[in-house]
Structure 1
Amino acid sequence: MAALETTIQRAGATGNIKATREDWLKLALETLISDGVERVRVLTLGQQLDVSRSSFYWYFKSRQDLLDQLLDYWRQTNTRFIVERASRPSATVIRGVMSIFECWVDERLFDPRLDFAIRAWARRSPAIRRALDEADKERVEAIRDMFVRHGYDGEDAFVRARVLYFMQIGYYSLELNEPMSSRLAQVALYLRSFTGQEPSAEDVEEFSRYVEETTSRKR
């Protein structure tokens, strides 16, 4: 997000405060995730930011403009990083799947709360439903292409991609609160299940290091 900001005079208050485009987007995103799209309202957000409505119109044409930018942010994070990880060159299919697993570990790459906020929004809006269907299709196709690059035929690659992707979406949907240590203990089994190949000890160790580094950043 750009660092552009402007000074906004609060109505009925002495002195100035600075409200940035990022402030509006951050609060709108948090509201979308916690309360749903219906609560993403200009007046409500302005009250929470303690600025007048005029602040909003320095950065956005309308509420719809704000919603469009939230949707674009979702595309540029959750979908983009899955596609990027699936497209990353990998020496083996095991390493290819490990790259995709990074999205399930690091919420900077894939935020499940945001994804399900979009899914809830899609139940209310045919346009968002179409955007969601397109995103699911793009993600699955990117994972399928990764399997194809490693020698799996088209139908096999497609089914494996759907299993890998939709299993994880289902995992989030069930809100399973499984410790990362338990998931790591089974990572070799997951890799074998998704690929039909045996991961090496080095594969498992490398992924464990990635998890540890990601977890350390959150502390």
Structure 2
Amino acid sequence: MNATQDKAAEPTGNVKVTRQDWLDAALAALLKSGVEGVKIQPLGVQLQVSRSSFYWYFTSRKDLLRALLEHWQRTNTAAIVAMAERPAQTITEAVGNVFRCVINPALFDTRLDFAIRDWARRAPDVRAVLQASEAERLEALRAMFARFGCPELEAIARARILYYMQIGYDDAQLNEPMEARNRLVPSYLIGFTGQAPLQSEVDALIAYARAVDAGENPK
């Protein structure tokens, strides 16, 4: 542990909130107003602490913004990679695992993904981070399809179809009821994989979606 970490681990005096409190407030501001809304003084007012509290945990606003990007990578990007690598008996089950990721906002925060994309349009350094994360996501999906016997070019194409369709689907903001999406699950799996799913896979995925819709956080 370095000196900065030692300092952050032992707040004293007028430090009333944690590093995570600052990060959560910054995330909320990013989602509401974009990166321009992430400013130290308004966040301090919201948290009811002085600026000195901020500098206990972060060296600058740039440091805070870097922490936001790291949080996004540890959550959204890591979730897609983990679900693509999750053990499965069939390719339809594997794609169903990826569906679980985007169904559950506790795993993948769609609003945060679009906030990062909006930020990246105006910041070349953030755009580079976004591109690297997207390459990591696509590689995980390509490897998933390859694991089940897809030839190289087909695996690349199917990974892109699955990934970019999901991004476009979320961007369209259809706001359709969960049951409407559930009725299409078997056809979606056929479309993405070229194979008919087992009924048990469909049932498990629909049960997962219903649990999320009911406010639960299933595994």
TM-score when scaled to structure 1?
0.91
1: CA distance between counterparts of 2:13 and 2:189? Answer: 53
Residue number in structure 1 paired with 2:212:
214
Residue number in structure 2 paired with 1:31:
29
AA in 1 matched with 2:130:
L
AA in 2 matched with 1:179:
P
1: CA distance between counterparts of 2:74 and 2:63? Answer: 16
> SS where residue 58 of structure 1 aligns?
helix
AA in 1 matched with 2:176:
E
Residue number in structure 1 paired with 2:17:
19
**Equivalence map 1:78-117=2 (5 Å):** 78-117=76-115
AA in 1 matched with 2:192:
F
Report whether the alignment pairs 1:74 with 2:72. yes
2: CA distance between counterparts of 1:7 and 1:43? Answer: 20
Higher RCO structure, 1 or 2 (CA under 8 Å, sep 6+): 2
| Counterpart contact for 1:46–1:56, Cα < 8 Å | yes
| Counterpart contact for 2:40–2:61, Cα < 8 Å | yes
The Cα shift of 1:147 comes to 0.5
2: CA distance between counterparts of 1:7 and 1:47? Answer: 19
Alpha-carbon RMSD across the aligned residues, in angstroms, is: 1.7
Alignment gaps of 5+ in structure 2: 1-7
Report whether the alignment pairs 1:165 with 2:163. yes
The Cα shift of 1:218 comes to 4.7
1:57 pairs with 55, 58, 69, which one? 55
Count of residue pairs brought into register by the alignment: 210
The Cα shift of 1:176 comes to 1.6
Work out the percentage of aligned pairs sharing the same amino acid.
Answer: 49
Residue number in structure 1 paired with 2:5:
none
Residue number in structure 1 paired with 2:148:
150
Alignment gaps of 5+ in structure 1: 10-16
Residue number in structure 2 paired with 1:180:
178
AA in 2 matched with 1:173:
D
The Cα shift of 1:5 comes to 7.2
AA in 2 matched with 1:217:
G
| Counterpart contact for 1:7–1:19, Cα < 8 Å | no
Residue number in structure 2 paired with 1:140:
138
- More strand, by proportion: 1
The Cα shift of 1:8 comes to 5.1
> SS where residue 59 of structure 2 aligns?
coil
The Cα shift of 1:97 comes to 0.3
Report whether the alignment pairs 1:120 with 2:118. yes
1: CA distance between counterparts of 2:106 and 2:11? Answer: 28
Change over 3 Å in CA distance of 1:102–1:8 after alignment to 2: farther
1: CA distance between counterparts of 2:171 and 2:197? Answer: 28
1:189 pairs with 170, 187, 190, which one? 187
Change over 3 Å in CA distance of 1:90–1:41 after alignment to 2: same
The Cα shift of 1:216 comes to 2.9
Residue number in structure 1 paired with 2:46:
48
2: CA distance between counterparts of 1:49 and 1:6? Answer: 16
TM-score when scaled to structure 2?
0.91
> SS where residue 75 of structure 1 aligns?
helix
The Cα shift of 1:161 comes to 0.7
The Cα shift of 1:34 comes to 1.0
2: CA distance between counterparts of 1:22 and 1:151? Answer: 43
| Counterpart contact for 2:16–2:53, Cα < 8 Å | no
AA in 2 matched with 1:163:
I
